[in-house]
Chain A
């Protein structure tokens, strides 16, 4: 464990010095993230000009939800997204060999090697917005409610990572330039909508099959109105299953990897 922590610190050092090479891009990226936040907040602000409730939530409750998904998204952009973006090229060019021969878990290495230093500001801003939505929340907040909310959000980070991996891993078989990562980002809009708007099979799809609704909507729901035991068991079961499926597909994918001739 210590070895992995030390290794991660090296990753951080490397990523920061790399980010500072592209200073203009560094600045633009911060601006880009600000615009992304503003657009997401404005979207719901404009919608609330025409309605009092969306998915059963008021504007104040919706902002807690928006804060939650912005936090998950920025965490992903900072920690995982860059690594998974380049993942297909490692496989298609045979560069994965270099990761497989190292004495550390290749999954750890491939998923965490590049810390996106220019997205760190984004992460801090989303954290600030998230805290702001909680502080300005009018109803009283209990400690258990807050801890449960944060734990469910951490679980949300992992679900987001697993789904993303599952969209990238088919590259081992298809050898396409990006896998289904574009599809992942399109599907990701489901994370940015309250789960209660989904009905019927679409609800099953987003809460069980590709559980985007469990990432931010369920944690926010837990915070706003509480979740019953059945819902908490559901979140746990789906998360564990997803993690196991991802590991299984990863192992199968490695077995089918044919090195540089892929």
Chain B
């Protein structure tokens, strides 16, 4: 059964249902975020009268913020409350009659979004580098391929984390704000707001014990060619460990909470 093909095709149709909105939002968000971040760093570099800060030049910083907005989309998708809302209003029922488990279905729909955004990253990244003096090199393509792979794996880990948290809605009425909190943590402590090199050393050390740097900073650094192969390998192993942990948490929550689901909403 190629059920996954139907699921993927259906998700792509949903993503492209409102094309004008989709492209305006995508281009607007990406472009504006890059320009605002560049303006901020340009001002900081100028105030310090320097060309390098914490190993980043201004062009590197620009590249970093080109990856950030699309990277965030690859990682966290758009569907905060994607499971909690359905549990709340009872529309979760349909997954119980699907021929596949809702875990598989939800993961696949989530990853379809991630892959779609990853294609956008490839497009924008190549376009940007096309106009640089170095142009598009084989090395750059290899880094991009590695970075996109790490991003998609990170999005799988985030999906497991989101699933575990959203299943709390079997006990709580509405956990939308809990998911937003998780996003704040992931973005800030992961390195979406600024490269983690700018954090104090003690904070960086502590963060290495959390999944955040591996969800955001690692894929960005890999795409930019700043991460060594051993760093990537170690990061992937840690991501896998977190994925297993979150998956087990989600399974446990479902096992414990399944009997609480009434089928008519909460």
Asked if B47 is an interface residue, CB under 8 A from chain A, the answer is: yes
Give the residue name and chain of the B residue nearest to A179 (CB). B21
B174 contacts A22, CB within 8 Å?
yes
A24 contacts B18, CB within 8 Å?
no
Given the contacts A28-B177, A179-B21, A187 and B40 also touching, CB distance less than 8 Å: no
Asked if A241 is an interface residue, CB under 8 A from chain B, the answer is: no
Give the residue name and chain of the A residue nearest to B197 (CB). A50
Asked if B54 is an interface residue, CB under 8 A from chain A, the answer is: yes
* CB-contact partner of B24 in A32, A49, A180, under 8 A: A180
* CB-contact partner of B177 in A31, A39, A50, under 8 A: A31
Q: How far, in Å, is B91 (CB) from chain A's closest CB? A: 16
Residues in B with CB closer than 8 Å to A52 are: 47
A78 to B36, CA, bound (A): 26
Asked if B145 is an interface residue, CB under 8 A from chain A, the answer is: no
B173 contacts A24, CB within 8 Å?
yes
Residue with the highest number of chain A CB atoms closer than 10 Å, among B24, B43, B48, B54: B43
B188 contacts A186, CB within 8 Å?
no
Q: Number of B residues whose C-beta is below 8 Å from A?
A: 39
Asked if B200 is an interface residue, CB under 8 A from chain A, the answer is: yes
Asked if A42 is an interface residue, CB under 8 A from chain B, the answer is: yes
Interface residues of B in 61-97 (CB under 8 A from A): 69, 78
* CB-contact partner of B25 in A47, A183, A196, under 8 A: A183
Contact with A along B167-201 (1 / 0, CB 8 A): 00000111111101100110010000110001110
Asked if A221 is an interface residue, CB under 8 A from chain B, the answer is: no
A42 to B185, CA, bound (A): 12
Q: How far, in Å, is A25 (CB) from chain B's closest CB? A: 4
Interface residues of A in 146-178 (CB under 8 A from B): 174-178
Asked if B137 is an interface residue, CB under 8 A from chain A, the answer is: no
Interface residues of B in 123-181 (CB under 8 A from A): 172-178, 180-181
Q: Please choose the segment from A96-104, A137-145, A197-205, A223-231 that sits at the chain B interface, where 4 or more of its residues have CB less than 8 A away.
A: A197-205
Asked if A189 is an interface residue, CB under 8 A from chain B, the answer is: yes
Asked if B53 is an interface residue, CB under 8 A from chain A, the answer is: yes
> What bracket does the count of chain A residues touching chain B fall in?
35 or more
Give the residue name and chain of the B residue nearest to A199 (CB). B39
A54 contacts B173, CB within 8 Å?
no
Given the contacts A25-B173, A176-B21, A193-B36, A32 and B48 also touching, CB distance less than 8 Å: no
A55 to B47, CA, bound (A): 8
Give the residue name and chain of the A residue nearest to B42 (CB). A197
Contact with B along A18-29 (1 / 0, CB 8 A): 000111110011
Give the residue name and chain of the A residue nearest to B178 (CB). A28
B199 contacts A197, CB within 8 Å?
no
B25 contacts A182, CB within 8 Å?
yes
A193 contacts B40, CB within 8 Å?
yes
Given the contacts A39-B188, A193-B40, A53 and B181 also touching, CB distance less than 8 Å: no
Residues in B with CB closer than 8 Å to A25 are: 172-177
A25 to B80, CA, bound (A): 14
Asked if B33 is an interface residue, CB under 8 A from chain A, the answer is: yes
Q: How far, in Å, is A60 (CB) from chain B's closest CB? A: 16
B47 contacts A43, CB within 8 Å?
no
A248 to B193, CA, bound (A): 37
Residues in B with CB closer than 8 Å to A183 are: 24-25, 28-29
Residues in B with CB closer than 8 Å to A36 are: 184
Given the contacts A42-B188, A176-B18, A187-B32, A193 and B177 also touching, CB distance less than 8 Å: no
Asked if A253 is an interface residue, CB under 8 A from chain B, the answer is: no
Residues in A with CB closer than 8 Å to B104 are: none
Give the B-binding residues of A (Cβ under 8 A): 21-25, 28-29, 31-32, 35-36, 39, 42-43, 46-47, 49-55, 174-180, 182-183, 186-187, 189-190, 193, 196-199, 202
- Give me 17 A-to-B residue pairs in the complex whose CB atoms sit less than 8 angstroms apart, sorted by A's number: A24-B174, A25-B173, A25-B176, A32-B177, A32-B184, A50-B54, A53-B47, A54-B43, A175-B18, A176-B21, A182-B78, A183-B29, A186-B29, A197-B40, A197-B43, A198-B39, A199-B39
